Amino acid sequence: MARVMVGMSGGVDSSVAASLLVDAGHDVVGVTLKLWGGESDSGCCSVSDVDDARRVARRLGIEHYVFNFGEDFDRFVVDPYVADHEAGRTPNPCVECNRHIKFDKLIRRADALGFATIATGHHARVVDDAGVRRIARGADHAKDQSYVLHMLGQSQLARLLLPVGDMTKDDVRARAADLDLITATKPDSQDVCFIHSEGGRAAFLGDRIPLRPARLVDGDGAEVGSVTSVELVTIGQRRGLNLGGDGGRRYVVDIDRRAGVVTVGPREDLLVEHQPLHDVAWSHQPVDGALTFQCSAHGTPRGGTVTADAETGVGLIAWDEPQPRVAEGQSIAFYTGDRVVGGATAAHR
């Protein structure tokens, strides 16, 4: 059996993951990452979450430690999040946290402490396809988190355990209740752990960068409204535009941040045949032929093919049929069936 370092966020999934590893006979140590030093109410980075993880570890009879990666979190997640909004991109901080913190800094710490294996509570699976390891969708498709793990390569997958990947969320909560774990009924965390529910993105970004109003115009250039902050608008957005009810749905189809102009139009104006990419990376080797692409955490997969330059990571998706343009900065995961084979970041058209 392995000596396993399990990341315990203070939530029910990682709590049950730790319990399953203990039951399997592994030598388990729980660790909680202290990432965000500011106010949080998301159920991911607060002091109470550390306490919950510690209490679960005590209940399971395993050691528990707290690693402070706050400076790294600011550098690799929070600061780029702010910079992306200021530059007109739509960032995905959970992906960057996994890329730079949970599956880089944490693995480095595991190496330093002599742990060959790490585990998390993500709802996804690690599978072996003829010697090639892949992230695969979790058993509970409604809670599947394979999308946010698309950046993992062979060296990381070789040492990763995802114990709850074969369970539904209901099964996870039932097991936590059977073990009388304090996290059994704890709500799921929000996606962005450092954004407080009171004030949201506007308050968070407004404390760090100037937020500028913008005019809303239609395809003919006629003004149809306004938004208080162009930095909070994203391609494809429909809600929160206060356009009034004229019988037709209108979406953000173009953003000129420098001029302070946001163009809205029907869904058809978003449709494109190709999606530019950068930072294309494969979990093993490039895969030719038909793939499906997921463009948000729980988005509907879209069919197409991808070409990419191996040296620059610049690429292009050719959609099987026209699809809505993906906002610059968003992550796109590549799948064959339920297996993740790679991913990239949406580039400007």
Distance CA(137)–CA(134), nearest Å, equals: 10
CB atoms within 10 A of CB 209: 14
CB atoms within 10 A of CB 235: 23
* Among 83, 112, 78, CA closest to 96: 78
Distance CA(10)–CA(20), nearest Å, equals: 16
Helix (H) or strand (E) holding 109: helix 106-112
Give the residue numbers annotated as catalytic, written as ranges. Answer: 97, 193
Look-up: residue for tokens 């190496």? 111
Cα 280 to its chain centre, rounded Å, is 16
CA dihedral for 275, 281, 284, 285, sign (positive or negative): positive
Long-range contacts (CB closer than 8 Å, 24 or more residues apart) made by 257-260: 257/88, 257/212, 257/214, 257/230, 257/231, 260/212, 260/213, 260/214, 260/215, 260/230
Task: Give the three-class secondary structure for 116.
Answer: coil
Distance CA(76)–CA(96), nearest Å, equals: 7
Contacts of 226 (CB under 8 A, 6+ apart): 213, 214, 215, 216
> CA-based diameter of the chain, in Å?
67
Contacts of 91 (CB under 8 A, 6+ apart): 80, 81, 84, 85, 329
